[in-house]
Structure 1
């Protein structure tokens, strides 16, 4: 596949290279000379409408961002399987020595919406089992039976579940207990631009 000159991603890169890069070239040079040292890890939904770097007005290198569908944290399961989110958490805590882990949920999450309303039956290879992580918060329903209020209640419950699941990782639990690691869960409202702790 050849890249077309009018490709919007290539056009975006050119804007970055001619606008942002010159203004931050020194910062990027510093980042290239040393290993990354982010202060925090952020577990966020892969939803294209939210970007933790933008929401937190973070500079390159400040956040270690882990993204997946619905921003879920699975429970600790060292079973030899491929666990992308768990591997990223281990890297952030044991190698990078981050001091904070933030689970960042958001309003109008398509993953949560799909889990509630059922279109996952068409995507069961990986997505269905992944979303099953959140199954414990689905029954009984944590809020009104339908609509936006139900989705908001489940989004909040999923954040709480992910925070609890973080504490199933022994090196996260121990780090929090020793005061070396702070854990929090926040919810971003896309339409209102508001960030709230849960």
Structure 2
């Protein structure tokens, strides 16, 4: 097994060395402060794994400001303490009960491959995702209730609507976690839903009163 591990590609080594010589060196006291004092992020961001969604750049965030969890299609599963492995649920528990974040933000985005996969699966065009051996398909099944809400919308608007449903479904599932529900009820934490238009550089915010997304 060890024989399959290789050194980093040279371009990544060069980038690291450049960062170490500039950004780190110029801000060494801040990095040492973070190392010694621990992290105290004000917000948790649940975003997609998509490499085009750069959370810290969008918000101009520094190290230590956001507790970021990424997964396919920025989905949150419902509260199911069944003893299985739940990376997303574990990250939420840690952020809320240990780090005491003041905000949990679900960030969806345009042209999401995961959401497109869910749409294909729900319309019968991706049988490979319906196989029990597909981790991606099993995960994207969390979004099936969202597809049922938007299936009447003509394509391609339906896929965009489903991208936004991935945010809404995740917000609904978040509140099923007892510690999330308690923190929100106590006024110690708030939930937020955003959708990022990658090409236009826009953020749309979910309004719970109108149940629509409004551009910021």
Same fold (TM over 0.5): yes
Q: Can you give the 5+ residue segments of structure 2 that lack an aligned partner in the other structure?
A: 207-216
Of the candidates 159, 178, 196, which is equivalent to residue 170 of structure 1? 178
Equivalence map 1:18-167=2 (5 Å): 18-118=21-121, 119=126, 121=128, 124-142=133-151, 144-147=153-156, 149-167=157-175
Change (3 A) 1:178 1:22: same
Q: Kindly state the Cα deviation for residue 81 of structure 1 after the two structures are TM-superposed.
A: 0.8
Aligned residues, how many?
Answer: 196
Q: Residues 143 and 9 from structure 1, CA distance in 2 versus in 1: closer, same or farther, beyond 3 angstroms?
A: farther
When normalised by structure 2's length, the TM-score is: 0.85
After TM superposition, where is structure 1 displaced by more than 2 Å over at least 4 residues in a row? Answer: 1-4, 117-120, 122-125, 140-145
If the length of structure 1 is used for normalisation, what is the TM-score? 0.93
The equivalent residue for 1:194 is 202
Distance across 2 between alignment mates of 1:116 and 1:130: 13
- Of stretches 72-81 and 123-132 in structure 1, the one that deviates more from structure 2 is 123-132
Question: How far 1:51 moved relative to its partner?
Answer: 1.7
Q: Unpaired segments of 5 or more residues in structure 1? A: none
Q: Deviations over 1:108-162 (max 9, x none)?
A: 1110011112447157431111110111111253553322x11111111111111
8 Å CA contact 2:44, 2:103 repeated in 1: yes
Give the Cα–Cα distance (whole angstroms) in 1 for the partners of residues 151 and 94 of structure 2. 33
Distance verdict in 2 for CA 1:47–1:143, change over 3 Å: farther
The residue matched to 1:138 in structure 2 has which SS? helix
- Work out the CA distance in 1 between the residues paired with 2:64 and 2:127: 35
> Could you list the per-position Cα deviations for residues 160-189 of structure 1 after superposition, in whole angstroms to 9, with x for gaps in the alignment?
111010000011011111100110101111
More divergent stretch after superposition (103-112 vs 124-133): 124-133
